[in-house]
Chain A
Amino acid sequence: MRRIIGLVISGLAFSGLLCAQTLNVQVGNVTYRFPAEQAGVMPFENGTTLTVMGKEFALTDIGNMYVDETAVTDNSVQVVFSNDKTDVTVAGNIAKLLTVSQNGAHVKIAQSADTDVEITYTLSGSSADGGFYTEGAYKATVELDNLSLTNVSAVYSGAAVHVQNGKRIKVKPLNGTTNTLVDAVSGTQKGCLYVKGHIEFAQKGTLNITGNVKHGIKAGEYFTIKNSTINIVSSVGDGINCEQYFLMESGTIALNHVGDDGIQCDIEDTEAGSTGITTDHEDEDTGNVYISGGNVSCAVTADAAKCIKSEGDMYITGGTLTLSTSGGGVWDETNVKTKASSCISADGNIAISGGTLNLTSTGAGGKGISGDGTFTVSGEAEITVTTSGQAVVASSNGTLSIVSNSRTLDNYQSDYKCSPKGIKIDGDIIIDGGTITVTTTGAGGEGIESKNTLTVNGGHITVNAFDDGINSSSHMYINGGYIFVKGSNNDAMDANGNMYIKGGLVYAIGATNPEVALDANTEGGYKLYISGGTIIAVGNLEGGAQISGGTCKYTTSWTAQSWYALYNGSDLVAAFKTPTKSSSSGGGPGGGGPGGGGSSQKLVVYTSSTPALKSGVTVADGTEYFGGMANIGCTVSGGSNVSLTNYSNNGW
């Protein structure tokens, strides 16, 4: 049995009471502190050098040595900035591992390749022209203790804090402290806070960042945050730019005056591509964004900028995100297509199962959510999207212009136009839960669009769209949930394949002829299938719909803004109002004129048994949806029965 003997000089609890002696060796503004119990034999060599704990000092470099009772924390370095200089203190046990250079208030600390302990650098004080630079090849911690640092001269780096170390770097704005970093305008740094490796933010302090050259914070590898508050005051490039993955558990990130994206995460190894998600994210390089808690607020103004962008997937399971874009579109010459802003954008999939998202885009073509992969919503997620920009189109030479008429967009191929959609997904959309509210008011502003299939199994969806309310390029499946959708200038729900309604409650309000409430691609050989659930449709159904599993009826006479009660047999299902009156309801400026439904519009209802309608009912209690146009769980009284006509499979 091999036995290793180690001295324990201060291991027991009572050792804290000891009055330790410490040898302080000062070289310039650097003080090396050697605890007496660790110092051992300190050899002199030829009257020219002194070596303490492996650290060799040229005697001519030593300004002073003294013994005091200062306690020394192993593996620690303190850097105190004070105007035009820094005072650096190095714990004796790591002295031999570090080479400290100074130039005014700029300090560089290089770790030797032999470093095998984690060193903690604690930075404090302030300087109007200073910077901290460290390099090495072993993980480290950087503590910020009320540090205020502006880099002007860019001596070792233009970054205010630069960690040229490809390992895990913990950055800790210490609890209760406020720290401010501003980088040098004259530098070439990638970030005001630059870490070559991966950043792990921790502790409940605040860090204010101004990135004058490129990004506010740049991590060459992954970025995680817990508890800390990061304010990007401004940045020329992204507020936060990282690679591998971005993970936020808690804390606050506020991004203001950023020149490009708010947060951008890319895949680091572009040749090998994504590693896929790994256990505990070990060695993960996916370009994914994970947000499970905390607060993110971001307002981006650049054309085609994104508040949060991932080259991989995006997983949001908690937290509060308040994101807005105001920039317009751009012409991407490389990819030959128009691009526009988006609050959330993923090159991969997007999955939202929790949290509160308030997303607003006001620029031309600006979207709330855009993704190249699939989009799933579940759990208690609350998503509110508002877009108010018009569509942007490009001529053959890439000249952009804004259009305010949706019909004009039909003249452009897909790559030459960009519409202000609420949620636009290239892959499948699957909604299992959560609450989604989308409002669009600009040309081409579809509420929710999938370029593939769209499935709703649960949740509450409310859409008020300028264009199609909900659109799928392929089939659409409604199996459950509550869907309140209005397409002001197009279909309420439009499937360019088949549309299957098998469950849930759908209240759809389409525009006037030729638009309908529920549209399947009959011209393409597809069909509207209704086999379950509850439907209230203002506007026509797609002709030739196949109805089963219940009864479908309609009326051509109804009035606006009056409560109707829909019954399935004798069971109250919901109360609702319509925004427009029918053409045959007469009275005032209704009919087919302003405020009236189109001449061919109908109010269609479908339930699993026999639908019945009462008009003019009084509604109490329940929960209102659709801007007060629907009420679920209410009680009703009064009213009069509405005469309904059976739907024919042959259409109307």
Chain B
Amino acid sequence: MKKLLFAMAVCCAVMVQAAAYSYLVFTNTGGTTTGFNVSNLTLTVNGSNLQVTNDEGTVNLVLTDLASMQFSNDGSLEGIGNILEADKPIDIYTPLGAKMGHFNNLMEAVGSLDKGLYVISNGSVTQKIVIQ
């Protein structure tokens, strides 16, 4: 029963985490990030600026200052899409929530797991991976 509840919890976590992408985060050439809620978000090139408008208002970003933009779950870039690359401890679960183990990083986990579908979590981000 505990396993089932845990599995449901993991699944819900996956849904929440994967469903989010509630922010679009801009990184400028200096490395500073600015996140915008994506609710009714529009981006318009206006001369030398990128006009960003959402429910919270409008902000103009200087295009030449922009290095990149990226969707984010929480408005920050920490952990976003880097869970596979980060050298941080992770937990691995089966799709039903059974914990497979705790590893120092993903590559260590990969070396210990068979082919298959797993749920991976670093505590703040949860994603699914396929090992082939």
A residues whose Cβ falls under 8 Å from a Cβ of B? 3-12, 14-15, 17-21, 23, 36-37, 39-44, 46-48, 59-60, 62, 64-67
A-B contact pairs, 16 of them (CB 8 A): A3-B111, A5-B84, A5-B131, A7-B129, A14-B11, A15-B15, A20-B19, A23-B71, A36-B21, A36-B38, A37-B71, A42-B70, A43-B68, A48-B63, A64-B42, A67-B42
- Are the CB atoms of A5 and B70 closer together than 8 Å? no
A9-B128, A10-B18, A12-B95 are known contacts. Are A44 and B63 too (CB-CB below 8 A)? yes
Chain B residues contacting A5 (CB-CB under 8 Å) are: 84, 106, 110, 129-132
B69 at the interface (CB under 8 A from A): yes
In the complex, which residue of chain A has the Cβ closest to the Cβ of B22? A21
Chain A residues contacting B71 (CB-CB under 8 Å) are: 21, 23, 36-37, 39
In the complex, which residue of chain B has the Cβ closest to the Cβ of A52? B69
Chain B residues contacting A46 (CB-CB under 8 Å) are: 64
- Are the CB atoms of B69 and A42 closer together than 8 Å? yes
A39-B71, A44-B67, A47-B64 are known contacts. Are A9 and B18 too (CB-CB below 8 A)? yes
Cα-based distance from A11 to B14 in the complex (angstroms): 11
* Distance (whole angstroms) from the CB of B124 to the closest CB of chain A: 17
B44 contact from A6, A8, A21, A64, Cβ within 8 A = A64
* Distance (whole angstroms) from the CB of B118 to the closest CB of chain A: 9
- Are the CB atoms of B81 and A40 closer together than 8 Å? yes
Cα-based distance from A36 to B18 in the complex (angstroms): 10
- Are the CB atoms of A7 and B42 closer together than 8 Å? no
- Are the CB atoms of A6 and B132 closer together than 8 Å? yes
In the complex, which residue of chain A has the Cβ closest to the Cβ of B72? A36
Chain A residues contacting B66 (CB-CB under 8 Å) are: 44, 47
Cα-based distance from A156 to B18 in the complex (angstroms): 43
- Report the interface size class on chain B: 35 or more
- Are the CB atoms of B24 and A7 closer together than 8 Å? no
- Leading 9 A-B pairs by shortest Cβ distance: A47-B64, A47-B63, A36-B21, A65-B43, A36-B71, A44-B66, A18-B19, A67-B38, A67-B41
Cα-based distance from A18 to B18 in the complex (angstroms): 8
- Are the CB atoms of B131 and A3 closer together than 8 Å? yes
B9 at the interface (CB under 8 A from A): no
In the complex, which residue of chain A has the Cβ closest to the Cβ of B132? A4
- Are the CB atoms of A6 and B68 closer together than 8 Å? no
* Distance (whole angstroms) from the CB of A101 to the closest CB of chain B: 22
* Distance (whole angstroms) from the CB of A33 to the closest CB of chain B: 14
- Are the CB atoms of B18 and A62 closer together than 8 Å? no
- Are the CB atoms of B70 and A17 closer together than 8 Å? no
B128 contact from A8, A40, A48, A67, Cβ within 8 A = A8
* Distance (whole angstroms) from the CB of A466 to the closest CB of chain B: 73
Chain B residues contacting A37 (CB-CB under 8 Å) are: 18, 21, 71
Chain B residues contacting A62 (CB-CB under 8 Å) are: 45
B127 at the interface (CB under 8 A from A): yes
Cα-based distance from A604 to B68 in the complex (angstroms): 100
Most A C-beta atoms less than 10 A away, residue of B24, B67, B111, B117: B24
A66 contact from B42, B81, B129, Cβ within 8 A = B42
Chain B residues contacting A20 (CB-CB under 8 Å) are: 19, 21
Chain A residues contacting B81 (CB-CB under 8 Å) are: 40-41
B48 at the interface (CB under 8 A from A): yes
- Are the CB atoms of A66 and B128 closer together than 8 Å? no
In the complex, which residue of chain B has the Cβ closest to the Cβ of A60? B45
A8-B128, A9-B18 are known contacts. Are A44 and B117 too (CB-CB below 8 A)? no
Chain A residues contacting B130 (CB-CB under 8 Å) are: 5-8, 11
Cα-based distance from A335 to B96 in the complex (angstroms): 76
In the complex, which residue of chain B has the Cβ closest to the Cβ of A18? B19
B41 contact from A4, A8, A66, Cβ within 8 A = A66
- Are the CB atoms of A3 and B19 closer together than 8 Å? no
Cα-based distance from A486 to B130 in the complex (angstroms): 76
Chain B residues contacting A42 (CB-CB under 8 Å) are: 68-70
A5-B130, A18-B15 are known contacts. Are A65 and B42 too (CB-CB below 8 A)? yes
Cα-based distance from A9 to B125 in the complex (angstroms): 12
Contact string, B107-130, partner A, CB cutoff 8 A, digits 1/0? 000110001010000000001111
* Distance (whole angstroms) from the CB of A237 to the closest CB of chain B: 50
- Are the CB atoms of B70 and A40 closer together than 8 Å? yes
Contact string, B66-88, partner A, CB cutoff 8 A, digits 1/0? 11111100000000010010000
Chain A residues contacting B48 (CB-CB under 8 Å) are: 47
Cα-based distance from A23 to B64 in the complex (angstroms): 21
Chain B residues contacting A18 (CB-CB under 8 Å) are: 15, 18-19
- Are the CB atoms of B127 and A9 closer together than 8 Å? yes
* Distance (whole angstroms) from the CB of A54 to the closest CB of chain B: 14
Cα-based distance from A405 to B132 in the complex (angstroms): 80
* Distance (whole angstroms) from the CB of B71 to the closest CB of chain A: 4
In the complex, which residue of chain B has the Cβ closest to the Cβ of A25? B43
- Are the CB atoms of A43 and B67 closer together than 8 Å? yes
In the complex, which residue of chain A has the Cβ closest to the Cβ of B115? A3
Cα-based distance from A8 to B14 in the complex (angstroms): 11
* Distance (whole angstroms) from the CB of B64 to the closest CB of chain A: 4
Cα-based distance from A433 to B100 in the complex (angstroms): 68
* Distance (whole angstroms) from the CB of A105 to the closest CB of chain B: 27
Cα-based distance from A20 to B48 in the complex (angstroms): 30
- Are the CB atoms of A17 and B15 closer together than 8 Å? yes
B70 contact from A41, A64, A67, Cβ within 8 A = A41
Chain A residues contacting B14 (CB-CB under 8 Å) are: 12
In the complex, which residue of chain A has the Cβ closest to the Cβ of B64? A47
- Are the CB atoms of A11 and B117 closer together than 8 Å? yes
Chain B residues contacting A44 (CB-CB under 8 Å) are: 63, 66-69
In the complex, which residue of chain B has the Cβ closest to the Cβ of A57? B45
* Distance (whole angstroms) from the CB of A214 to the closest CB of chain B: 46
Cα-based distance from A330 to B65 in the complex (angstroms): 77
Cα-based distance from A173 to B22 in the complex (angstroms): 39
Chain A residues contacting B63 (CB-CB under 8 Å) are: 44, 47-48, 59
A21 contact from B15, B21, B62, B131, Cβ within 8 A = B21
- Are the CB atoms of A65 and B128 closer together than 8 Å? no
Chain A residues contacting B62 (CB-CB under 8 Å) are: 47
Most B C-beta atoms less than 10 A away, residue of A7, A59, A60: A7
Chain B residues contacting A21 (CB-CB under 8 Å) are: 21-22, 38, 71
